[in-house]
Amino acid sequence: MTKARIQPAQPWPGHLKGSRPYRNLLLALLFAGVATFAQLYSVQAVLPGIARDFGITPADAALSVSAATLGLALAVMPWSWVADRAGRKRAMTWAICAAVVLGLLLPLAPGFETLLAVRFAEGAALGGIPGIALVYLNEEVQKLHAAVAAGTYVAGTTIGGLAGRLVAGPIGGWLDWRAGVLAVSICAAAAAVVFVWLAPAPQGFRPLARGQGPSLARRILANLRVPRLLALYAQGFLLMGGFVAVYNYLGFRLEAPPFSLPASLVSLLFLAYLAGTVSSRLAGGLTMRLGRLPLLLMAIPVMLAGLAATLVDSLPVILAGLVVFTGGFFGAHSVASGWTPRLAAQGRAQAAGLYNFFYYAGSSLLGWAGGLFFGSFGWTGVALFAGVLALLAGTTALLLLRGAPD
C-alpha cells in the first residue's frame, strides 16, 4: 500500500475583484484611513486657534502636527514587527483603538507641552494603520488588481484627512479648537468600529514565528540596501514634507491681510483634498496602462504648476492652484506607496513601514521647516521650498527607478 503524498499548501491567490470579501476589504481600509487621517491632521485646521490659545508662533503651533507624524514615523517599524506575528488585522485593530482613546483625551490637555506629548503618543498608535494597510491589502487581493485597490485605499486616506479638517475647522471657529478636535475623535471612533466589523479575516498572512527567517533588523537593512526602494522612500520624504508645509501655513496667509478670512472659511480650503481623492483613485487605474514611473514623473510638474498659482494674490487662483497641487501630490503618493511592497524581495511589511517612516519623517521635519521660510520670506518662501523638494523627488525617481518592474 503506497503512502499518500502530502501536497504542499497552495499560496492564497487573493480575493477576486468584485467579490464580497474584496469590497469589504476596500471599505474596511477606507474607514481605517478615515479614522487615521482624520485624527492625524485634525489640528492642522485649528493651528491659528492653538497659536492664540497658548500664545505661541505659527511654527511652534505646527509642532502639534509634527509631534503626531513623528510619533507615527518612529512607530511604523515596531508595528510591522507586531503585524508579522499577531496578524495584519489584529495589529491594526489594536492600533486604531489606542489612537481613538488618546484622541478623546487630547482636548483635556492643560498646556501646550501636554498637548504635544498626547499628540506624539496618538501618532505612535496610528503608526499601526498606514504601515500595515497596504501589506494587508497586497496579501488579500489578486495581484492583478492590487494597484487599483491601493489607489482606492489612498483615496480613503484623503477622505479622512479632509473630513478631520472640515469637522475641526468650522467647530473650532464657532467654539474653540478643543471642541473641534473632540468632534473629530468621536467620528474616528465610529469609523474604527466599521473597520473592525468589515475587515475580512486574513487568508494570505502567514505568521512569522520567533526565530523564523531573518531578524527584524536584517529585514530593515535588506530594504535599505535597495537603491530603487530608497528612491521610493525619497518620494515620500520630500513630497510629503512640501505638501504638509503648504497646508500648515496657507491658513495663516489667508487669515492675514489682504484676505483676512475667518477661521471657519479658511478651513474650507481643505476641500482641495477631494482632488487627491480623485487623483489617487485614477492613478491606480492609469498605472496598468502607462506604467508607474511615467505616472510618478507626470505628477511632479502638476504639483509645480499648482504651487505657482498659489503665489498670485487672488483667492480663486490660490484655491485652484491648491486643487492642482493636491491632485498631483496624491497621484504621486498613490504610485510610490503601492510600488514599495512590489519591489521588496523580502520583508514586505518592513519595506512598507520604511516608506511610511520616511513619509511621516518628511511631514514632521520638512513640514515644520516650512515655517522657518514662512517667518523669513512669507508665502513665497514656503512655495519655493515645496517646489525645490518636488524637483529633488522627481530627479531621484528619474535616475533610480528607470527599468524597475511595475
Judge whether 105 and 124 are in contact, CB under 8 Å: no
CATH class of domain segment(s) 20-202+216-400: mainly alpha
> What is 354-402 written as a DSSP string?
HHHHHHHHHHHHHHHHHHHHHHHHHHHHHHHHHHHHHHHHHHHHHHHST
List, for residues 129-141, the tens digit of each pLDDT value.
877 887 777 777 6
Domain positions in the chain: 20-202+216-400
Q: What DSSP designation does 292 have?
A: H
Q: What are phi and psi of 301, to 5 degrees?
A: -65, -30
**How far, in Å, CA of 181 to CA of 161, rounded?**
13
| Nearest Cα to Cα of residue 181 among 43, 49, 54 | 43
State mean pLDDT over 73-95.
85
pLDDT over threshold 60, residue 112: yes
| Nearest Cα to Cα of residue 95 among 136, 135, 129 | 129
> What is 168-206 written as a DSSP string?
HHHHHHHS-HHHHHHHHHHHHHHHHHHHHHHPPPPSS--
User: What is the grid cell recorded at 299?
Assistant: 505628477
Q: Could you give the percent of the chain with pLDDT greater than 70? A: 89
Q: What DSSP designation does 346 have?
A: S
With helix as H, strand as E and coil as C, how does 112-171 read? HHHHHHHHHHHHHHHCCCHHHHHHHHHHHECHHHHHHHHHHHHHHHHHHHHHHHHHHHHH
pLDDT over threshold 70, residue 88: yes
Supply the pLDDT for residue 96.
92
User: What is the grid cell recorded at 279?
Assistant: 487623483
Q: What DSSP designation does 42 have?
A: G
pLDDT over threshold 80, residue 304: yes
State mean pLDDT over 254-271.
81
Supply the pLDDT for residue 392.
97
Query: Regarding predicted confidence, which is higher, 303 or 249?
Result: 303
List, for residues 61-75, the tens digit of each pLDDT value.
889 988 998 898 888
Judge whether 297 and 239 are in contact, CB under 8 Å: no
State mean pLDDT over 300-306.
96
Per-residue confidence at 214, pLDDT binned at 50, 70, 90? low
Supply the pLDDT for residue 357.
87
Supply the pLDDT for residue 6.
39
List, for residues 264-301, the tens digit of each pLDDT value.
777 777 788 788 777 877 776 777 778 889 999 999 99
Grid coordinates 464580497 are at which residue? 20
Judge whether 386 and 370 are in contact, CB under 8 Å: yes
Grid coordinates 540596501 are at which residue? 225
* Contacts for 107-116: CB closer than 8 Å, 24+ residues apart: 107/178, 107/179, 107/181, 107/182, 107/185, 111/54, 112/50, 112/54, 112/56, 112/60, 112/64, 115/50, 115/64, 116/63, 116/64, 116/67
**Angle, to 10 degrees, between the axis of helix 88-105 and the axis of helix 130-140?**
150
State mean pLDDT over 101-125.
94
Q: What DSSP designation does 110 have?
A: -
Supply the pLDDT for residue 211.
54
3-state secondary structure of 2: coil
Q: What DSSP designation does 15 have?
A: B
Angle formed at CA 225 by CA 221 and CA 231, multiple of 5 degrees: 120
